Structure 1
Amino acid sequence: MKKVAKNIGASFLNQMVNIITNFILPPLIIGTYGSQVNGLVTTIKQLMSYIRLVGAGISIATNHSLYKPLADKDYHRTSGMLNAANSMFNKAGTLFTVLALITSFIYPTFIKGTLDYTLVVILIIVMSIEGASEFFVVGKYKSLLYADQKSYITSLVQTFGIVLSFIFTYILILQQANIVLVLLAASLLYVVRIVFLTTYVRRNYSYLNPKTPPIMSAVEKRNDAFIHQLTGLAILSSQAIVLSIFVGLEAASLYAVYNVVFSGLYSICSQVVSSVAPFLGRTKALDNNIKLRKQFNLVEFSYNLVMSYIYSVCTIMIIPFITIYVGNADINYIDYGVASLFLLFSFFNTIRLPAQYMISVAGHFKETKIKAVIEASISIVLQVVLVNFYGIYGVLIGTAIAIGWRCFDIILYTNKYIISQANKLSLIRMVKIPVVTLILIIINYAFINNEVTTFREWFLLALINSFYSIMTIVLVNIIIERKMFFKTFNFLLKKVF
């Protein structure tokens, strides 16, 4: 439990720092350089996510393969598997660099906007530096630490890199430095995390032998894992790109502002689940199915409590936040339709995380890849078709339909083929979240004044809604899952607090 607490704590710190920095920077970029530059930066980040796909699957496959040798303290096999992963990461890094250069010259010819072609080319090259470092150095170490239940080390190092990068970025923007210099400094300073990760691994894993022959079975599932990475990015990283091509960079900026909030919430939820996933993976590797079922239900129920709180409060607070957050920008960012559609697809994308991680730790990549491809295909086709009729709404509707279908598919598959239990509990837990949200909406609009003009007022309103949300969550869970609620509460008191 100490490692679980460390992983969750470090992940939470990392995500909070990441969210805070991501909240602060977009308004500064919009105010200093305009909405088109903000939309461009967001789009390039998503382009980099796509290009990173050349290495997709290596980390996931390596994580899955390392669970057992690390648990058995088989140092020779661990070294061989890590060397195999390192070889694949280096090849992927070379391909990533080539693709990033090619993209930098081609993509600027497609976007709608008034930005200079040369500026876009340089920005893409500059923002690819961070991605290259992931392949050549960071990737193998992250896989090792994750599989060894020490993801907190990676999280802390990443947090340091984010803070250092943010400080210099913030100063340069206030000085109205050239946007190329701003992003170059951010990329280079974030890369310093390489030094810390390398030092830690060399000191604490001295048994690793770079001369051990690579055991390629460690990455034999990388192609199937790659499909899952590809489809996930195709869905979420295609939105800003589609908007920049079919609507314009200002629409991409509108998307980016709301995405700051919801990607932050997703990151928190994902990090919480991924912090626990290595322990589920080890239990699965040791073939202890009864224990695995108990652990998964505890994780799913606890996660559902967190989700109920986050999405009920977020539903109420999103528009007041955007109103204060953007201020008097060069375009209108207040849009209830965009907020509602973001809430919908983000809910489906986040509620499925415990089941999705179980598929990963169980190594069921091949068995589920067809459904993942169908999900991505539905999303992209609907986005491209509907954007021509409904603009940004069409992109979000297409995403919500695809993710909603796949959400149910993932949960049903995990319960049937990995956990070996009925779907009833998972579906009931899913329904509890909109129930809690609806009750909070009624309470809020019946008794609370939602008009705020400052972040101080917004924070006080968030505290009030948080109180009502927690009380509602407790009441709903006592009514629906009384036994599991008190069992989880007692477990947390005993093991964590």
Structure 2
Amino acid sequence: MKIERTKNASRNILFGIILKIYQIAVPFLMRTAMIYFMGVQYLGLNSLFTSVLQVLNLAELGVGSAMVYSMYKPIAEDDTKKICALMKLYRLYYRVIGFVIGGVGLVLTPFVPKLISGDVPSGLNIYILYLMNLAATVLSYWLFAYKNSLLQAHQRVDVVSKITLVTNTFQYAIQILILVLSHNYYYYVLAILATQIITNISTAIVVDKMYPRYNPEGNLDKDEIQQINHKIRDLFTSKIGFVVVDSADTIVISAFLGLTALAIYQNYFYILSSVMEFIAVVFTSCTAGIGNSIIVETAEKNYNDLKKFTFLISWISGMCLCCFLNLYQPFMELWVGKDLMLSMGAVVCFCVYFYIQEINKLFNTYKDASGIWHEDRFRPLVVALTNLCLNLLMVNFWGIYGILLSTVFATLFVGMPWLLHNLFTTVFDKKYLSGFLINLGRYVAGVALVGVITYLICNRISFSNLWLTLVIRGLISCLIPNAVFWGLYHRLREFKECVKLVDKMTKRKFRLSGLILGEK
């Protein structure tokens, strides 16, 4: 089966962006409502449960990524029998995973209060709330989760986006009524549980209609199962690395600094992660297409694609960094007030964290799409342990600064160099690495330049009306980076290819290549 990579990526990005706008705007209103109707500690509690359950999701062991990767080839060859056998194996694995998460989660229940420093909101039973969140996680695996693999492998993530839009609307509507009318946090969590059930069942129904010929039946050869198990084993360290890096910060802040400090940190991180998830739509939408390209296209073509995507992500991330640098503080003052704000130094740390994570995500997208988990199996574990050790050490001296810088140091000095080495010894020719690093260094210098320029300008702009300050600074933070980047890079091949790519994805509706590149 031929995968229409550009068409599917365009569709996935479109609906993914719509979903992300929705998932940023509405939860932001929910977060604001919780602050004013229930108190800031509830936000910290939400973040803590999310992080603990991410740790429990280690039981997933990377099964999803391994199974989706295993489907790329049979889909390209239209091998229905093998796809059905993979679905059957996927279903079995996810049922086992649900039992493991449930069992380990129950064992950990008595220790949950020890992860909270200081007081918790009065009248709440931490154990009951934890078990309700645990039930939602377990059901996410038991209820037809294996059918999602078909949508991901066929590059139809847009279908998931549409379903999530509908089910999330139901969830948020119920939750906002609960916050305003009853202030009952138990009902608030119960709405999450109900939405998880509805989402999984709805997705299964849609998948059955789209792909009626695929049913979980048949068996794979023992050798094939062994190969998949090897991929899962190799992905285990990646899963550990992701969970520790992503969750350790939250758990360490809760345990050492308390729920209020965690809530303040999470207010900033919520804005940052919302934009990161927005950009992640591009990664998610293109992963299956990149995997297909690695199989059917030449190595040189795939390397040129990497250069193109690196340029594009660096441009987008650089502009976002300028916005964070100049808009964070006036926005937070307007949203939560000065009492719940961090220092400007923390904002700079958040900006550096953001840019490094976005570039690193691109490299990880190529790692996942090419399936080099075996070659990369030790790196995520070492990065995670480095991050955790630095977290525990630096939080005692520098608090929030230490939490952010520990992730930056672990990623920049351990994770990224190692990952680039793995990519350029397995997927791409090693001779290209030096040239790639020179280009990347050029992009980093460009981002640093626009960051300094926009900050020096915006730092002089402050009105008594915070809305006016945000608007003026926002215009400067968007216009200047794009103008500087265009001046620096418009002659590069990567720039021209990105313009043509966008033109192609929009089906030439805006004639970008003709306007920007001067073509007729």
**Helix, strand or coil: the match of 2:117?**
coil
* Residue equivalent to 2:174: 168
* Residue equivalent to 1:42: 47
* Residue equivalent to 2:480: 468
Sequence identity percentage:
17
Q: Show the 5 A alignment for 1:237-316.
A: 237-286=247-296, 288-316=298-326
| Residue identity opposite 2:439 in structure 1 | I
| Residue identity opposite 1:57 in structure 2 | G
Where does structure 1 lack aligned partners over 5 or more consecutive residues?
A: none
* C-alpha distance after superposition, 1:299-354 (max 9, x if no partner): 222222222222222222112221112136xx532322222222222221111222
Is the alpha carbon distance of 1:34 and 1:212 closer, same or farther for their aligned partners in structure 2, counting shifts above 3 Å? same
Asked if structure 2 preserves the Cα contact closer than 8 Å seen for 1:51 and 1:99, the reply is yes
Deviation at 1:53, TM superposition (A): 1.2
Is the alpha carbon distance of 1:302 and 1:396 closer, same or farther for their aligned partners in structure 2, counting shifts above 3 Å? closer
Deviation at 1:437, TM superposition (A): 4.6
Match status 1:223 vs 2:219: no
* Residue equivalent to 1:369: 377
| Residue identity opposite 1:242 in structure 2 | V
> 301-310 or 383-392, which moves further after superposition?
301-310
Asked if structure 1 preserves the Cα contact closer than 8 Å seen for 2:67 and 2:228, the reply is yes
Asked if structure 1 preserves the Cα contact closer than 8 Å seen for 2:10 and 2:505, the reply is no
Deviation at 1:486, TM superposition (A): 2.2
Asked if structure 1 preserves the Cα contact closer than 8 Å seen for 2:454 and 2:476, the reply is no
Q: Show the 5 A alignment for 1:76-87.
A: 76-87=81-92
* Residue equivalent to 2:495: 485
* Residue equivalent to 1:322: 332
Is the alpha carbon distance of 1:211 and 1:454 closer, same or farther for their aligned partners in structure 2, counting shifts above 3 Å? same
Match status 1:159 vs 2:168: no
Asked if structure 1 preserves the Cα contact closer than 8 Å seen for 2:264 and 2:341, the reply is yes
Mapped partners of 1:436, 1:110: distance in 2: 38
Asked if structure 1 preserves the Cα contact closer than 8 Å seen for 2:17 and 2:278, the reply is yes
Asked if structure 1 preserves the Cα contact closer than 8 Å seen for 2:62 and 2:232, the reply is yes
* C-alpha distance after superposition, 1:205-239 (max 9, x if no partner): 11123231256244441111121011111012111
* Residue equivalent to 1:70: 75
| Residue identity opposite 1:92 in structure 2 | I
* C-alpha distance after superposition, 1:7-37 (max 9, x if no partner): 1112212222222233222232222222222
Deviation at 1:285, TM superposition (A): 2.5
* Residue equivalent to 2:407: 399
Asked if structure 1 preserves the Cα contact closer than 8 Å seen for 2:310 and 2:359, the reply is no
Is the alpha carbon distance of 1:186 and 1:427 closer, same or farther for their aligned partners in structure 2, counting shifts above 3 Å? farther
Asked if structure 2 preserves the Cα contact closer than 8 Å seen for 1:127 and 1:183, the reply is yes
**Helix, strand or coil: the match of 1:175?**
helix
| Residue identity opposite 1:469 in structure 2 | P
> 294-303 or 400-409, which moves further after superposition?
294-303
Match status 1:442 vs 2:453: yes
| Residue identity opposite 1:153 in structure 2 | V
> 372-381 or 263-272, which moves further after superposition?
263-272
Deviation at 1:457, TM superposition (A): 5.1
| Residue identity opposite 2:457 in structure 1 | A
Deviation at 1:441, TM superposition (A): 3.7
Match status 1:112 vs 2:122: no
Is the alpha carbon distance of 1:443 and 1:348 closer, same or farther for their aligned partners in structure 2, counting shifts above 3 Å? closer
Asked if structure 2 preserves the Cα contact closer than 8 Å seen for 1:349 and 1:407, the reply is no
| Residue identity opposite 1:181 in structure 2 | Y
* C-alpha distance after superposition, 1:454-496 (max 9, x if no partner): 4565245323421222212211213xx5232123213422442
Deviation at 1:360, TM superposition (A): 1.0
| Residue identity opposite 2:480 in structure 1 | Y
Asked if structure 2 preserves the Cα contact closer than 8 Å seen for 1:316 and 1:441, the reply is no
Mapped partners of 1:252, 1:367: distance in 2: 36
Mapped partners of 1:138, 1:285: distance in 2: 29
> 285-294 or 252-261, which moves further after superposition?
285-294
| Residue identity opposite 1:159 in structure 2 | L
Where does structure 2 lack aligned partners over 5 or more consecutive residues?
A: 1-5, 509-520
Is the alpha carbon distance of 1:425 and 1:451 closer, same or farther for their aligned partners in structure 2, counting shifts above 3 Å? farther
Mapped partners of 1:192, 1:129: distance in 2: 14
Deviation at 1:188, TM superposition (A): 1.3
Match status 1:2 vs 2:7: yes
* C-alpha distance after superposition, 1:357-415 (max 9, x if no partner): 11111111121121211111110011111112222222222122111121233234323
Match status 1:341 vs 2:352: no
Mapped partners of 1:453, 1:130: distance in 2: 43
Match status 1:186 vs 2:196: no
| Residue identity opposite 2:478 in structure 1 | S
* Residue equivalent to 2:148: 142
Deviation at 1:280, TM superposition (A): 1.1
* Residue equivalent to 2:359: 351
Asked if structure 2 preserves the Cα contact closer than 8 Å seen for 1:344 and 1:400, the reply is yes
* CA-based RMSD: 2.2
Asked if structure 2 preserves the Cα contact closer than 8 Å seen for 1:440 and 1:468, the reply is no
Deviation at 1:145, TM superposition (A): 1.0
**Helix, strand or coil: the match of 2:378?**
helix
Match status 1:411 vs 2:420: yes
| Residue identity opposite 2:423 in structure 1 | T
Is the alpha carbon distance of 1:53 and 1:117 closer, same or farther for their aligned partners in structure 2, counting shifts above 3 Å? farther
Asked if structure 2 preserves the Cα contact closer than 8 Å seen for 1:477 and 1:485, the reply is yes
Is the alpha carbon distance of 1:81 and 1:423 closer, same or farther for their aligned partners in structure 2, counting shifts above 3 Å? farther
**Helix, strand or coil: the match of 2:433?**
coil
Deviation at 1:255, TM superposition (A): 1.6
| Residue identity opposite 2:418 in structure 1 | D
Asked if structure 1 preserves the Cα contact closer than 8 Å seen for 2:319 and 2:477, the reply is no
Asked if structure 1 preserves the Cα contact closer than 8 Å seen for 2:307 and 2:494, the reply is no
Mapped partners of 1:427, 1:158: distance in 2: 41
Mapped partners of 2:253, 2:45: distance in 1: 11
Mapped partners of 1:271, 1:131: distance in 2: 23
| Residue identity opposite 2:188 in structure 1 | V
* C-alpha distance after superposition, 1:132-168 (max 9, x if no partner): 2321135312222111111111122223222221122
Mapped partners of 2:385, 2:298: distance in 1: 36
Mapped partners of 1:122, 1:352: distance in 2: 38
* Residue equivalent to 1:424: 435
* C-alpha distance after superposition, 1:185-218 (max 9, x if no partner): 1331243112321111111211123231256244
**Helix, strand or coil: the match of 1:160?**
helix
Match status 1:91 vs 2:96: yes
TM-score after normalising by structure 2: 0.89
